[in-house]
C-alpha cells in the first residue's frame, strides 16, 4: 500500500509536532484526523500541512498547527467534556476539539466566517459542534458552566466574565493574554470555587479579541 501525498504531509506534520514537544497522543491523533486542507483558502492549499499560520478572510488567521496542538494539550480535554471556544475563525480548532470532547460550543463575531465554518463541519460530518455569531467576550451564559474554555484571540486582560462560566470544580481555560501591545502569553486558568490558579505557559502572537459583533457589507 502506498501513502497519498496528503497522508505523507500529515505524518510529517505530526512528527514535527512531536519534535516540538507535543506528547499527548490523543491530541496528536485528533490533529491527524482533521483535514486542515478543508479549512484553508484555495490559494494556500499547498501549505495546508505546513506548520505555519495562514490568512483566512476578514483579516483573520487560522493558527499555526503547533499553537493549536499546544493550546489543546494545555486544555487537558476529556471525552465527556463540554467545551467553549471563542473565535471560530476557519473552524479548524473547533474541529480538533470536537474529536476530543462531548460537545463544542463556538462563538465568532463575523457571520461570514461562521457560515463557512459551519459548512465545513457539515461536509466533514462533524455533528457535535454548536456555533453562533456573537461577542465572545460575553461567553455563552445560557450554556454555562463549561468544563473547558479555549480563547483563540488575544484578550487584553484576565477574562473574568469567561472564568465565571467555567465549572467551579476544576474548570480550565486557556487563553492568549496581552503582555505588551503586540505580544501575549498563553495563560492557563484553573478554577476551584472562587479560587483561580494562573499559569503563564508560552509567548505567542494572536489577532486581538475585539468588542461586539462585526458589521459586514450585505451580500
**Which stretches of the chain bind ligand SAH, using CB under 6 A?**
60-63, 86-87, 89-90, 92-93, 107-110, 113, 135-137, 152-153, 207, 209-210
92-100 vs 25-33: helix crossing angle, rounded to 10: 130
In the complex, least distance from residue 190 CB atom to ligand SAH, rounded to whole angstroms: 22
In the complex, least distance from residue 195 CB atom to ligand SAH, rounded to whole angstroms: 27
In the complex, least distance from residue 27 CB atom to ligand SAH, rounded to whole angstroms: 14
Cβ–Cβ contacts within 10 Å for residue 114, how many?
20
User: Cβ closer to ligand SAH: 112 or 167?
Assistant: 112
In the complex, least distance from residue 84 CB atom to ligand SAH, rounded to whole angstroms: 11
User: Cβ closer to ligand SAH: 92 or 189?
Assistant: 92
Active site residue 63: yes
CA–CA separation, 82 and 27 (whole Å):
16
Given the residues 4, 63, 116, 178, the one annotated as active site: 63
Going edge to edge, which strands form the sheet with 195-204?
129-133, 103-108, 82-86, 148-151, 169-178, 184-192, 195-204
* Partner residues linked to 171 by β-bridges: 191
- CB proximity list for 182: less than 8 A, separation 6 or greater: 205
The residues annotated as belonging to the active site are: 63
Amino acid at each position: 500500500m502506498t501513502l497519498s501525498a496528503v497522508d505523507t504531509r500529515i505524518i510529517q506534520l505530526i512528527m514535527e509536532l512531536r519534535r516540538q514537544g507535543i506528547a499527548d497522543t490523543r491530541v496528536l491523533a485528533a490533529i491527524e484526523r482533521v483535514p486542515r486542507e478543508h479549512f484553508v483558502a484555495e490559494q494556500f492549499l499547498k501549505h495546508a500541512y505546513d506548520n505555519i499560520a495562514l490568512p483566512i478572510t476578514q483579516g483573520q488567521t487560522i493558527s499555526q498547527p503547533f499553537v493549536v496542538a499546544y493550546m489543546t494539550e494545555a486544555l487537558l480535554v476529556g471525552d465527556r467534556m463540554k467545551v467553549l471556544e471563542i473565535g471560530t475563525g476557519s473552524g479548524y480548532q473547533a474541529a480538533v476539539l470536537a474529536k476530543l470532547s462531548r460537545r463544542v460550543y463556538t462563538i465568532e463575531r463575523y457571520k461570514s466566517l461562521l457560515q463557512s465554518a459551519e459548512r465545513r463541519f457539515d461536509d466533514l460530518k462533524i455533528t457535535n459542534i454548536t456555533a453562533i455569531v456573537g461577542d465572545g467576550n460575553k461567553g455563552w451564559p445560557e450554556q454555562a458552566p463549561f468544563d473547558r474554555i479555549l480563547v483563540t484571540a488575544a484578550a487584553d486582560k484576565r477574562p473574568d466574565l469567561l472564568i465565571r462560566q467555567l465549572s467551579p470544580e476544576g474548570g480550565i481555560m486557556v487563553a492568549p493574554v496581552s503582555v505588551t501591545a503586540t505580544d501575549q502569553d498563553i495563560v492557563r486558568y484553573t478554577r476551584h470555587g472562587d479560587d483561580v490558579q494562573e499559569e503563564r505557559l508560552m509567548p505567542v502572537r494572536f489577532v486581538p479579541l475585539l468588542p461586539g459583533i462585526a458589521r459586514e457589507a450585505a451580500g
